[in-house]
Structure formats: structure tokens, C-alpha cells
Amino acid sequence: MLKYIGDSGYEVRNYILTPLSNPINRARTLYNESLIRTRNTVERSIGIWKRRFPVPAHGLRLKMETVLAIIPATAVLHNIARDMHESDTPQPFDIDEEELDYLITMG
């Protein structure tokens, strides 16, 4: 079964791994530490991906079928860039956030 990693804000479910609130032994403490390290790694990776492709960070105002294609496409392109040793933080475009929002709105 597929498991997801969440923080303490998530409701307890059998498919979400969340930190234990009061670990009572070394094994439970190690579980929490491992979970936190894994979440941090995932969150950093998502941050790098969103800097490379700011569209997910600013919201996608498109049809759901288009969004469902864009997200994995940018993830694949991100992985290709990583394999080619491209910089994790590409140079920002000379565009301000208001202009970006306008361009997104206009399609």
C-alpha cells in the first residue's frame, strides 16, 4: 500500500505517516527523526522545482486536464535538468509578479 508523509496537522489515517506526539522509546524517537528528515528533503526538492517552474507556485488557472499534464511535464523537465547538471536556481526572468499574474490571466 502506498504511504504518504504528513506533519502533525494531518488527521491520522492508515495511509499517512505522521510524527508521534510523545515518543516513549528510542525506536519511536528515531521514527520521528527519520520522518522529519524525509519531509525536509521532499520540501526542499519541491521548493527547487517551484523556483525552476514558478507556474505551480503562482497557481494554475487552466482546465484541470491541462493542469494534470503540466505538473508531471514540469517534474520530468526538472529531472532532465538535474541529470544534465543544470543549476537548481535558474536566473529569474526580468518580470515582476503583477506582470506574471496578468500574463497567466490572459492565457
39 and 59, same domain (yes or no): no
Q: Convert 27-40 into a string of H (helix), E (strand) and C (coil).
A: HHHHHHHHHHHHHH
Number of domains in the chain: 2
**3-state DSSP assignment of residue 62:** coil
Distances in Å between the Cα of 102 and the Cα atoms of 11, 21, 84, 88 are 37, 44, 32, 26
Q: Residue 59 region, left (φ>0) first, then alpha (ψ -120 to 50), else beta?
A: left
Question: pLDDT tens digits, residue range 7-51?
Answer: 888 887 889 988 988 999 999 999 999 999 998 888 888 888 888
- Domain boundary pick from 9, 34, 52: 52
31 and 4, same domain (yes or no): yes
* 17: β partners: 5
* Chain mean pLDDT for the chain: 83
67 and 103, same domain (yes or no): yes
